[in-house]
């Protein structure tokens, strides 16, 4: 077996064998920082973006301390969506296979959309060492007394901010109150919103806080375009955009499922065939939609932020933000769906005046935006909001000056305001003519 840099950590020969089998040579930045405290059994908060190698940052330390002779649940790994839980379970199964422990290390996937009673029956005949699943279904199994989590050594909360947004943090809370207070907690989240703080303070005492800063918030090969909404309907602009681009697959992001449903209906009414993906769909609908995406039935899919992190969608060439997100991190996650594996990617953003503070923050982070309008299926470059603001400021100062030139009469007569306005308009007209002559 070839040597790898993971051997600097206190890992067992079995875990070393897994690392070798996975073809890992060097730990990623998140793995470098998470492995030492995680291997020591310490609780931690890890902040990093999707695709950073986070799954193995927590999985390898867990497998390192698995005691196969003990017949109880030793580790609980929770994810906010079924798709993410399935992805984690696939990695667990792959690791067990590479370790040559197929009939020794036991892992069980607990997610909704499957027969609850069958799951209860299976768990009564076999106790897994590792439980991977969504909080709701894990809690169901605990309440049914099909599994006992009290003696588990570690609890992993993956994508904590998405867990919060989807309303599953209460289920997590209900699971944790049934576990040993000394359990090792590993919380991973792209962002740490203020609303998550009470939960973290309740369950983590002096945790190690690890934050991996990406040098660039989006790939170099990405192009970021801004289109002003100007009181138009997003659906109308997106129809125009669809005439100007030929996407392999374009994700159209909205803020929330109600907006997603409305936009999908509007686009279909206008003749654009679109898929729809959000947390309000039933498990069967979500499964069907993902299958149809894999078979390339759709070129366009309307989605919420669930699709920016909760689901892995391959082959995205364009991201269209029908609504700009509220926070910088969500923009980064959305556009991160494209320009993968060295492919080109384009982010097209429909923006309002209220989105300018977010755009300015993203520019400070190093993103470069180009300003466009799209008419009759053709792109037309326009002035940036900075140039427009300067022009507007200049125009308003001229108006102010024109008004100051008007003398207010000492004795006010009926209709004086109308006369003053007319005089101010004439002054403004003269000022503009003079400015034109100077040019």
| pLDDT computed for residue 269 by the predictor | 95
What is the domain partition of the chain in residue ranges? 5-211, 222-382, 399-438
Q: pTM score, two decimals?
A: 0.67
First to last CA, the chain: 77
Q: Where are the alpha helices (DSSP H) in 65-212?
A: 82-98, 116-125, 135-143, 160-165, 169-176, 197-203
With vertex at residue 104, the alpha carbon angle to CA 102 and CA 105, rounded to the nearest 5 degrees, is: 80
| pLDDT computed for residue 38 by the predictor | 94
- DSSP summary character for residue 408: P
- β-pairing, 369-375 vs 378-381, is antiparallel
| pLDDT computed for residue 341 by the predictor | 47
| pLDDT computed for residue 391 by the predictor | 46
Of 340 and 127, which is predicted with more confidence? 127
Query: For residues 231 and 396, what is the distance between their CA atoms, to the nearest angstrom?
Result: 22
Q: Which has the minimum average pLDDT: 27-31, 75-79, 208-212, 435-439?
A: 435-439
Encode 298-313: b = buried (16+ Cβ within 10 Å), e = exposed.
bbbbbbbbbbbbbbeb
With vertex at residue 279, the alpha carbon angle to CA 154 and CA 222, rounded to the nearest 5 degrees, is: 90
Only one residue has tokens 């005439």, namely 243
Q: Does domain 5-211 have CATH number 2.130.10.10?
A: no
CATH homologous superfamily of 222-382: P-loop containing nucleotide triphosphate hydrolases (3.40.50.300)
177-218 pLDDT per residue, tens: 999 989 999 999 877 888 889 999 999 988 999 988 654 444
Fold equal for 5-211 and 222-382? yes
Q: Where are the alpha helices (DSSP H) in 233-384?
A: 234-244, 257-269, 283-294, 306-309, 328-335, 356-364
221-245 pLDDT per residue, tens: 578 999 999 889 999 999 999 999 9
């Amino acid at each position: 077996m070839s040597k790898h840099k993971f051997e600097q950590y206190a890992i067992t020969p079995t875990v070393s064998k897994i690392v070798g089998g996975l073809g890992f040579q060097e730990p990623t930045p998140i793995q470098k920082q998470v492995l030492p405290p995680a291997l020591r059994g310490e609780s931690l908060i890890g902040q990093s973006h999707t695709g950073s190698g986070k799954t193995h940052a927590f999985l390898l330390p867990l497998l390192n301390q698995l005691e196969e002779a003990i017949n109880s649940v030793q580790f609980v790994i929770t994810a906010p969506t079924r798709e993410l839980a399935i992805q984690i379970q696939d990695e667990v199964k792959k690791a067990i296979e590479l370790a040559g422990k197929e009939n020794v290390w036991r892992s069980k996937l607990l997610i909704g959309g499957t027969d609850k009673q069958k799951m209860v029956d299976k768990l009564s005949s076999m106790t897994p060492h590792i439980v991977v699943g969504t909080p709701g279904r894990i809690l169901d199994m605990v309440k049914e007394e099909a599994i006992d989590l009290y003696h588990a050594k570690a609890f992993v909360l993956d994508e904590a901010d998405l867990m919060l947004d989807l309303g599953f943090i209460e289920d997590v809370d209900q699971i944790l109150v049934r576990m040993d207070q000394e359990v090792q907690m590993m919380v991973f989240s792209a962002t740490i919103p203020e609303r998550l703080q009470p939960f973290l303070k309740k369950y983590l005492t002096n945790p190690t806080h690890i934050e991996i800063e990406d040098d660039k918030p989006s790939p170099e090969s990405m192009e970021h375009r801004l289109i002003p909404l100007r009181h138009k309907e997003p659906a109308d602009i997106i129809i125009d955009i669809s005439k100007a681009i030929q996407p392999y697959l374009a994700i159209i992001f909205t803020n929330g499922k109600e907006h997603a449903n409305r936009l999908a209906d509007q686009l279909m009414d206008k003749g654009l065939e679109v898929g729809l993906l959000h947390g309000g769909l039933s498990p069967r609908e979500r499964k069907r939609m993902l299958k149809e995406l894999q078979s390339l039935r759709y070129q366009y899919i309307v989605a919420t932020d669930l699709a920016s992190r909760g689901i892995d969608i391959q082959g995205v060439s364009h991201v269209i933000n029908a609504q700009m997100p509220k926070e910088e991190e969500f923009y980064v996650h959305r556009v991160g769906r494209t320009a993968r594996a060295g492919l080109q990617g384009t982010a097209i953003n429909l923006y309002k005046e209220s989105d300018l503070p977010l755009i300015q923050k993203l520019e400070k982070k190093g993103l470069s935006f180009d300003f466009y309008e799209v008419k009759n299926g053709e792109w037309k470059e326009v002035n940036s909001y900075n140039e427009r603001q300067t022009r507007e400021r200049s125009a308003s100062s001229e108006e102010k000056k024109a008004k100051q030139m008007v003398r207010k009469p000492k004795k006010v007569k009926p209709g004086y305001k109308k006369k003053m306005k007319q005089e101010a308009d004439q002054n403004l007209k003269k000022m503009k003519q003079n400015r034109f002559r100077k040019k």
